[in-house]
Structure formats: structure tokens, C-alpha cells
């Protein structure tokens, strides 16, 4: 589906099992980046070597905490000690939003209205 639209510049993989990671590289455009923000329980992720190398894609990891961290955040939010700051924009503005994010001008989480 993504390839019909040129592929994704970047994809986040927050899954905790290797099978869920598998489809992500196929949706990337040439030079796209897959960022893994979770650790599969079995410690293994399979990636298509030829399309990754020939397509110039990269697969990166990002350590953002433990599996228990989100539970603590959800408890804080349920207790009313946090609030989500977001801004809703039309999906047609996605290119402008990416530009703003890349230049540090995004003041809140952007939610796209479809």
C-alpha cells in the first residue's frame, strides 16, 4: 500500500515481537529509515537484506525506556498529573508538518484528521 504512494520516508516499529517488525521495511521508500523503539521478546528481527541494501534503507534502534515505563506514565495520566498537548491538522498539510518538525518548530503532538 505505501509503495503505491512512493513509500514512507520513515517508519516507527514499536512492536515487541519479531513478526510484527517484518512488514515495516517493505513500506519504506528508497533511502527510508526504520526506527525500532521496542525490543522483541526473543531478541530477533529479520529484515530483507537485498531490498534494504539496494534501496539504501537504514534500520536504527532507539532506547526509550523499559516495558514498565508506559504503565507508570498511564498511571500518572489517569491521576490527572499529565496532559497531552496536541494540535489537529488536515492530512493534506503533512509535508509542512514534517518540515516544521525537522526544523524544531512543532510545539505539540500533531494529529492528522483523515
In the numeric block, which cell numbers belong to residue 52? 534494504
State the pLDDT at residue 90: 95
Residue bearing the bigger pLDDT, 76 or 108: 76
**From CA 60, how far away is CA 78, in angstroms rounded?**
32
Q: Does residue 51 contact residue 26 with C-beta atoms inside 8 Å?
A: yes
State the pLDDT at residue 4: 73
- Of 21, 31, 36, nearest to 53 by C-alpha is 31
For the chain, the average pLDDT equals: 83
Global pTM exceeds 0.75: no
In the numeric block, which cell numbers belong to residue 43? 531478541
Q: Among 3.40.50.720, 3.30.390.50, 3.40.50.300, 3.40.50.10860, what is the CATH number of 1-69?
A: 3.40.50.720
Query: Where in the sequence of the chain do the CATH 3.40.50.720 domains occur?
Result: 1-69
State the pLDDT at residue 92: 94
- Under the banding of pLDDT at 50, 70 and 90, the label for residue 88 is very high
pLDDT digits (tens, 9 = 90+) for 53-70: 888 999 888 776 676 777
Amino acid at each position: 500500500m505505501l509503495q503505491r504512494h512512493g513509500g514512507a520516508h520513515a517508519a516507527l516499529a514499536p512492536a515487541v515481537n519479531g513478526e510484527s517488525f517484518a512488514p515495516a521495511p517493505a513500506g519504506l521508500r528508497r533511502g527510508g529509515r526504520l526506527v525500532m523503539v521496542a525490543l522483541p521478546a526473543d531478541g530477533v528481527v529479520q529484515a530483507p537484506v537485498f531490498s534494504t541494501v539496494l534501496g539504501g534503507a537504514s534500520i536504527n534502534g532507539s532506547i526509550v525506556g523499559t516495558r514498565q515505563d508506559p504503565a507508570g506514565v498511564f498511571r500518572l495520566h489517569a491521576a490527572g498529573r499529565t496532559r497531552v498537548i496536541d494540535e489537529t491538522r488536515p492530512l493534506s498539510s503533512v509535508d509542512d508538518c514534517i518540515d516544521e518538525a525537522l526544523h524544531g518548530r512543532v510545539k505539540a503532538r500533531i494529529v492528522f484528521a483523515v
